[in-house]
Structure 1
Amino acid sequence: MSNLNTESAVLDSAHVGDIRGAFGTIRHDDIAPRTGWLQRLKTLMAILGPGLIVMVGDNDAGAFSTYGQAGQNYGTLLLWTLALLVPVLYVNQEMVLRLGVVTGVGHARLILDRFGKFWGAFSAIDLFILNALTIVTEFIGISLGMDFLGVPKVVGVCLAAVFIMFAASTGDFRRFERFSLILVFGSLLLVPIFLMIHPPMTQVAHDFFIPQLPADGKLSEVLLLIIGIVGTTVAPWQLFFQQSYVIDKRITPRFIKYERADLWLGIALVVIGAVAMIAFTAQVFAGHPEFGNFTDAGAIAAGIAKYHGRLPGVLFAVALIDASIIGAMAVSLSTAYALGDVLSLKHSLHRKPGDAKGFYLMYCGLIALAAALVLIPGVPLGLLTNAVQTLAGVLLPSATVFLLLLCNDKEVLGPWVNKRFTNVVTAVIVAILVLLSVILTSSVAFPDMSGETITDILIGGSIVGLIVAIAVNVVHAREAVDKVGQAANDATFTQQMMHAWRMPPLGKLKPMVLSRRNRIWMGVLRGYLVVAMGMVIFKVVQLAMA
């Protein structure tokens, strides 16, 4: 780790060159310091994009459905989940953007090379299946929005599919990013809807900061929805997309602080949109027969129009279509990037379709398949959408575990490895996510379990998780103290050296050797995934039959 690497580890030569963002260009050889506020603003404008797209892209059709269900069925009582997810969003996405700018290699390929073929294949197949289902939900959102606007389903879905394919297939990265950022700004349509419906701000603020569970309703269904909120707000595809997109944009460690600012802007937009949806949906249906009887996002648009006028209903439908399109673009790209990485194909938006056939074939193929599935009559749209978000919430702990291990791998990140605080926070996050899944499993196995029992599990599990997290980090601290020579060597890195450090080519990395403790945890993780996924599928089928 002591040498500064001049060899590039990037897998596609198109990932090296000038940064050509939507709002500016930074030359590849531009190493001048940014001293004045105007220079820094210009740099930020050129970097702006990955954080905004990945965050707003996750306020997609699934988010509209999940947040809408939370508001329509339980009012604003679940707003607090969004406040708790803010640090989760930042910690997870900061780690992947750091991996991207330092390594130049996508998330799926790093898992394959560092953890072996089994986990590499598992992550790629898992991502492909979950993303394919997620893209279907995006077209469900498009069809529901178009239906409200009076556009025939076949016409609306086909036009949207063509636009999504065209937006990414021009061979011009800047053009794609401009398309995407127009859609990002379109998400702000939720703000005027909020102002028109005007939910009580005092209640919204109270429920955002004070955790509580609804007094009525089945506890297992409430927990299923909470896990769905987690899954739609912090989805696994985001990790793969953000890492690959910053690589494709050619962002290097020199500009990481600007990319972190871009990420914070995206988090702000996603939280504003989510809070607005839950709050105005709660206000629309409060005291009406539809309250507690969520069906889908199309019914929310109809309810808004019924009780507050046609204009906010139309704005909601347009916002739904806008969110579904950007979601479909981002999720499809994350899949194409990941498979391109694993299969060593050319995979860059800087390349034209003829120069990266496999990459664009995967991207367009997923879009075409999802659009076709949505046009099949009789598909339970609302249930499928929420099932996908819940499954994403269950799979998130495994994705976060891989992310945490990679960000502590000095062969991969060198001086950019996680600080102790990040490790502690991430360990707590993983513990909480697993705890939610354990509660879901328990509520399925024991449907009559009382709220007091759930509270006991939450408190007990939180204490155990905290103790485990502290113990693990104490052990790591002792190991770090034993490596005094290495620590002293790390301390010699200046900011300039940090900016110049890049991961060596994958073939030159020392193999990762997992400790017995980590191998045990990986085995536990595998068992957890099997049980948790089985319980989610069982619960969803149970709800469908009911």
Structure 2
Amino acid sequence: MTDSTITTPSAAAARTAVLDDAHTGDSRGALGTIKADDTAPRRRLSARLKTLLAVVGPGLIVMVGDNDAGAFGTYTQAGRNYGTSLLWTLLLLIPVPYVNQEMVLRLGAVTGVGHARLILERFGRFWGAFSVIDLFLLNALTLVTEFIGITLAVGHLGLPKVPGVLLAAVLVVLAASTGSFRRFERTAILLCAGSLLLVPVYVIVHPPTGRMAHDFVVPGMPHHARLADVLLLVIAVVGTTVAPWQLFFQQSYVIDKRITPRFLRYEKADLWLGIAVVLVGAAAMTGFCAAAFSGHAEAGHFTDAGDVAAGLEKYAGRTAGVLFAVALLDASVIGACAVSLSTAYAIGDVLGLKHSLHHGIKGAKGFYAVFAGLVLAAAVVVVIPGSPLGLLTEGVQTLAGVLLPSASVFLLLLCNDRTVLGPWVNGRVTNVFTSLVVAVLVTLSVVLTAAVLFPGIGANAILDIMGICGVAGILALGYAETRRRRKGWALAGPVDRTGKENWRMPPLHELPDPVLSTGRKVGLAALRLYLLAAMVLVVVRIVQLALGG
């Protein structure tokens, strides 16, 4: 049954850009409710804790959802092949996802409009269409990898593959199709709690805590390993924390939960909670794989997460292997939920379809059709005999690397658009730090693309690519600053943030047309050329692999 609060939009919503009447009213989270007219200050600790519990959800789900089947493969590979020597790379899991997701939180709470729709409105039809089409393709492939994780898990647990995968797909669809946002969020948070099953596996295996603590804070490289392989794995560790679908999902989910700017600081705490859970899981997987496989023939020969479960059972006992398989199943299911919802949200936002978990199936047929169609199609692809699952997995990793720069660039530009965010735009310090993060992500994207096109790439080539990207970035900054001074353009003045808690973006039709400078047009054109060239080269390489080349 649909929540009664969605039938009558509030007066405040009429002055904002909220596109769906389901996105206004009381915020009914899994662990509490915040009334739409609640403006009371939270002075007591108990009141703050109740508010935090009511808000918890978006940040936790998006982070744990990204700790999915692909992440399980990355972290267990790091531990199995290189021990705990790369644990320090997990420190990068803190600033990279936080910077991106914090900006998305602000966009969602302040604008009331999804990420794809904002790109369409502020950057034109080409980029709007591109953002939705590439998200659809990438998410469809990502869903296949989630169901590959499910097949590995059910296989280890001794369950039949085809019924197990199809049952998981049906459960994913049912979890989001009840017409109750609160019911879905409770299910999702329960799945997030399931990711903590990795902790008892860690306790059973009991890796040396002192060694792990040292490797976590002291950067080092594994001995007797091919440097290029290590560098690519480090890049994969960083890349697995940020995916394009996260930006679209988080922004739309915050809107669907009816989070307003007044409660953004609580939502940031929710995001930190999600990051903490991901760190615990990543460190646990790296640690217990390093300890379980050390000194055995399987060390240094990672294949997949299913083989990790078998190895844990062999060297640490049946309980450890089963718990790991259940955690993998849990992670794949929540990943499938979040990835498919991000696509349905984006398409609904751009096409003007009803797109909310508050609506039942009858009230949002298109939204649920996209969601269920993606999930079921991915499940069917996985159970079809002879499906090129390895090729699809490689395609996901490559396309994610290629498309991430565009998502990050648009995110940064939107968070500096004063028409869109008003007093909530980025400050100068945030822009400097975020620009560095975006530059790093662009560099990683180029390296990953090169690694797919040239599988035998060496460490020197990787370092050369990083150096060239760094020089190109410095030259671009120098050009921009020189042009600014030559034209006499002043730097943006300080932002008046008075009353920002009550500021919301006006309706889209009231926004003035965006003004794109020559430099920004040139930059977007260069980005378009890079994406086109990289995608063509990647498709050519994947076709070669498919033909056995």
How high is the TM-score relative to the length of structure 2? Answer: 0.91
Matched, 1:524 2:517: no
CA shift digits 1:47-69 (9 cap, x unpaired): 01000000001111111122222
Deviation of the 1:441 alpha carbon: 5.2
Distance in 2 (CA, whole Å) between partners of 1:362 and 1:189 is 31
Q: List aligned pairs for 1:23-172, cutoff 5 A.
A: 23-172=31-180
User: Equivalent pairs: percent with the same residue?
Assistant: 63
What is the letter of the counterpart of residue 228 of structure 1?
Answer: A
- Aligned partner of 2:339 among 320, 331, 346: 331
Deviation of the 1:215 alpha carbon: 4.8
CA shift digits 1:282-302 (9 cap, x unpaired): 222222222222221111100
For 1:287, the equivalent position in structure 2 comes to 295
Unaligned runs of at least 5 residues, structure 2: 1-11
SS of the residue aligned with 1:233? coil
Deviation of the 1:425 alpha carbon: 1.3
> Compared with structure 1, are the counterparts of its residues 23 and 81 closer, same or farther at alpha carbon in structure 2 (3 Å cutoff)?
same
SS of the residue aligned with 1:20? strand
Deviation of the 1:355 alpha carbon: 0.5
Aligned Cα root-mean-square deviation (Å) = 2.7
Distance in 1 (CA, whole Å) between partners of 2:537 and 2:446 is 10
> Compared with structure 1, are the counterparts of its residues 483 and 89 closer, same or farther at alpha carbon in structure 2 (3 Å cutoff)?
closer
> Relative to structure 2, which stretch is displaced further, 144-153 or 269-278?
269-278
For 1:513, the equivalent position in structure 2 comes to 515
For 1:237, the equivalent position in structure 2 comes to 245
Deviation of the 1:435 alpha carbon: 2.0
Matched, 1:356 2:364: yes
CA shift digits 1:3-60 (9 cap, x unpaired): x996021110000000101111111111111111000100000001000000001111
> Relative to structure 2, which stretch is displaced further, 99-108 or 428-437?
428-437
For 2:274, the equivalent position in structure 1 comes to 266
For 1:198, the equivalent position in structure 2 comes to 206
Matched, 1:436 2:423: no
Distance in 2 (CA, whole Å) between partners of 1:446 and 1:372 is 32
What is the letter of the counterpart of residue 197 of structure 2?
Answer: L
Distance in 2 (CA, whole Å) between partners of 1:318 and 1:287 is 26
Conserved? CA contact 1:93–1:239, under 8 Å: yes
> Relative to structure 2, which stretch is displaced further, 325-334 or 386-395?
386-395
> Relative to structure 2, which stretch is displaced further, 97-106 or 269-278?
269-278
Conserved? CA contact 1:220–1:443, under 8 Å: no
For 2:26, the equivalent position in structure 1 comes to 18
Distance in 1 (CA, whole Å) between partners of 2:545 and 2:311 is 23
Conserved? CA contact 1:241–1:333, under 8 Å: yes
What is the letter of the counterpart of residue 333 of structure 1?
Answer: L
Q: List aligned pairs for 1:418-497, cutoff 5 A.
A: 418-440=426-448, 451-452=459-460, 454-455=462-463, 458=466, 461-462=469-470, 465=473, 468=476, 482=490, 487=493, 490-491=495-496, 493-494=497-498, 497=499
SS of the residue aligned with 2:33? strand
Conserved? CA contact 2:22–2:256, under 8 Å: yes
Unaligned runs of at least 5 residues, structure 1: none
SS of the residue aligned with 1:513? coil
What is the letter of the counterpart of residue 112 of structure 2?
Answer: G
What is the letter of the counterpart of residue 500 of structure 1?
Answer: N
For 1:378, the equivalent position in structure 2 comes to 386
SS of the residue aligned with 2:66? coil
Deviation of the 1:460 alpha carbon: 6.3
Matched, 1:7 2:7: no
What is the letter of the counterpart of residue 400 of structure 2?
Answer: A
SS of the residue aligned with 2:28? strand
CA shift digits 1:311-345 (9 cap, x unpaired): 00000000001001110001111000000001000
> Compared with structure 1, are the counterparts of its residues 445 and 244 closer, same or farther at alpha carbon in structure 2 (3 Å cutoff)?
closer
For 1:503, the equivalent position in structure 2 comes to 505
Distance in 2 (CA, whole Å) between partners of 1:22 and 1:476 is 49
Deviation of the 1:543 alpha carbon: 7.8
Conserved? CA contact 1:231–1:390, under 8 Å: no
For 1:208, the equivalent position in structure 2 comes to 216
Distance in 2 (CA, whole Å) between partners of 1:408 and 1:370 is 37
What is the letter of the counterpart of residue 161 of structure 2?
Answer: K
Conserved? CA contact 1:219–1:443, under 8 Å: no
> Compared with structure 1, are the counterparts of its residues 375 and 454 closer, same or farther at alpha carbon in structure 2 (3 Å cutoff)?
closer
What is the letter of the counterpart of residue 243 of structure 2?
Answer: A
What is the letter of the counterpart of residue 515 of structure 1?
Answer: S
SS of the residue aligned with 1:25? strand
Distance in 2 (CA, whole Å) between partners of 1:445 and 1:149 is 37
Conserved? CA contact 2:17–2:505, under 8 Å: yes
> Compared with structure 1, are the counterparts of its residues 520 and 386 closer, same or farther at alpha carbon in structure 2 (3 Å cutoff)?
same
> Compared with structure 1, are the counterparts of its residues 477 and 359 closer, same or farther at alpha carbon in structure 2 (3 Å cutoff)?
farther
Q: List aligned pairs for 1:170-185, cutoff 5 A.
A: 170-185=178-193
How high is the TM-score relative to the length of structure 1? Answer: 0.91
SS of the residue aligned with 1:353? coil
Conserved? CA contact 1:76–1:279, under 8 Å: yes
- Aligned partner of 1:342 among 343, 350, 354: 350
Q: List aligned pairs for 1:243-322, cutoff 5 A.
A: 243-322=251-330
Matched, 1:403 2:411: yes
Conserved? CA contact 1:88–1:429, under 8 Å: yes
> Compared with structure 1, are the counterparts of its residues 482 and 463 closer, same or farther at alpha carbon in structure 2 (3 Å cutoff)?
closer
Conserved? CA contact 2:405–2:445, under 8 Å: no
> Compared with structure 1, are the counterparts of its residues 333 and 108 closer, same or farther at alpha carbon in structure 2 (3 Å cutoff)?
same
Deviation of the 1:362 alpha carbon: 0.6
For 2:5, the equivalent position in structure 1 comes to none
Q: Which runs of 4+ in 1 moved over 6 A?
A: 444-449, 473-481, 538-544
CA shift digits 1:174-229 (9 cap, x unpaired): 00000000000110011111121122233323333344444545555444433433
Distance in 2 (CA, whole Å) between partners of 1:115 and 1:365 is 29
Distance in 2 (CA, whole Å) between partners of 1:435 and 1:28 is 43
